[in-house]
Amino acid sequence: MRTLTKITAENERVLNRLLKNKKRENYILLYYSTWDEWCSRIVARAEEWVKDEGDEQLYLVSSWDAPHAFAAFAITNAPAVCVVKKGRISVHVEYPRVYDFFSSQKERELAQSKGSRRKQRGDR
């Protein structure tokens, strides 16, 4: 089952442990700002995503609670998703890619089928 943990000033040690062990562990960091409407949408989407089947660990990192954590992966804007898999790091900073990351497979397939139907009809 997927788990969600919010990184705050009280549990900052968790983030430090994650950053130290990034070559041995798998996890996902969602960087967000509490003041941004787009970030609020992504956080709500991520909370729904956690309820789906999977074994990923998602950590929410707020710009207010842990601003120094943004420097760890050179994150300059929010929302951003950082996926760490045994030392391999991929960062998604464009809003559509972040939003799509938290979409279910069924939603992605539906969006692709709509796009292919438009191409067949010649719509743009």
Judge whether residue 16 has pLDDT over 80: yes
| Domain total of the chain | 1
Judge whether residue 18 has pLDDT over 60: yes
Listing DSSP states for 3-29 in one string gives EEEEE-STTHHHHHHHHHTTTT-EEEE
**Tokens of residue 13, six digits:** 């040690």
What secondary structure letter does DSSP report for 2? -
Distance CA 8, CA 54 (A): 24
What secondary structure letter does DSSP report for 104? -
Residue-wise pLDDT tens digits, 71-122: 888 888 889 999 999 888 889 888 888 888 888 655 655 666 665 555 555 6
Q: What is the CATH number of the domain that holds 9?
A: 3.40.30.10
At 32, the pLDDT band (50, 70, 90 cuts) reads very high
Greatest Cα pair distance, the chain, in angstroms, is 55
Parent domain of 37: 3-121
Which amino acid is located at 13 in the chain? R
Q: State the average pLDDT for the chain.
A: 82
Judge whether residue 46 has pLDDT over 80: yes
Residues of the chain above pLDDT 70, percent: 83
pTM of the predicted structure, to 2 decimals = 0.79
